[in-house]
Homo-oligomer: A and B are copies of this chain.
Amino acid sequence: MTKTNLANATLFDLNTGLSNEEESVKRHLSDMKKLFHDTEALEQQLDNGDNPLIYEYYALDLPNTAGDIQYGTSIVYPGTLNGEYYMTKGHFHEILETGEVYFCLSGQGYMLMESPEGEWEIEELVPGRAVQVPPRYAHRSINTGNEPMVTFFTFRADAGHDYGSIETKGYRKLVVEKDGKPEIIDNPKWAL
């Protein structure tokens, strides 16, 4: 009966989503240049010296076989850029046929998903709601509320992240504020 040391564990703050044990990956407005729809407003805000933290998440150094499950938290801060809600970049998986689960701990918003062929889905995120992103679908978290939106995510540890096509072409759909409420619109720039 040998005691091994293969299990991994991380303590997160259930309120903030942050961990004192690990360093988060931080995405500021300047990291999102091609992702927000209004690139002019983005550049002007940066020129004014205003480069807010849009979101942060944990990319932990964990075993990454096809049998391991990778985990972490993601925190999307509240705000809009000319009406478009703060959001994550969104990503496909390198192994396209793998999905992901997001479990919302606080805040409110949406999980916006789309396939390479342009099929799309959206699911609401509210505290306690688990969303299973299907394989093949890119996924982006969008904070439509007034407080940080915290999710706990897990995916097959060998899945890998593919940001490329989203950074080039964006998403086909956007979630913007209209009359104080979220509305899904077509991305006018997507076809360009």
Task: Return chain B residues, CB-CB under 8 Å to A186.
Answer: 1
Task: Return chain B residues, CB-CB under 8 Å to A103.
Answer: 71, 103, 152
Q: Pick the residue among B5, B134, B154 that contacts A6 (CB under 8 A).
A: B134
- Of A1, A5, A8, A9, chain B has the most CB atoms within 10 Å of the CB of A9
**Do the beta carbons of A154 and B101 come within 8 Å of each other?**
yes
Task: Return chain B residues, CB-CB under 8 Å to A4.
Answer: 115, 119-121
The yes or no answer to A179 lying at the interface (CB within 8 A) is no
Q: In the complex, what distance in Å separates the CA atom of A111 from the CA atom of B133?
A: 27
**Do the beta carbons of A9 and B99 come within 8 Å of each other?**
no
- Tell me the A100-128 residues at the B interface (CB within 8 Å): 100-101, 103, 105, 111, 113, 115, 118-121, 123-124, 126-128
Task: Return chain B residues, CB-CB under 8 Å to A44.
Answer: none
Task: Return chain B residues, CB-CB under 8 Å to A63.
Answer: 132, 134
Interface string of A53-67 (1 = CB under 8 A from B): 000000000110111
Min Cβ gap A30→B in Å is 30
Q: A129-B10, A134-B7 are in contact. Are A173 and B1 (CB under 8 A)?
A: yes
Q: A1-B172, A111-B7, A120-B4 are in contact. Are A99 and B132 (CB under 8 A)?
A: no
Q: In the complex, what distance in Å separates the CA atom of A13 from the CA atom of B105?
A: 10
Q: Pick the residue among B7, B123, B132, B137 that contacts A71 (CB under 8 A).
A: B132
Measured CB to CB, the nearest residue on chain B to A172 is B1
The yes or no answer to A147 lying at the interface (CB within 8 A) is no
Min Cβ gap A119→B in Å is 5
Shortest beta-carbon contacts, A-B, top 4? A6-B134, A67-B135, A67-B97, A154-B154
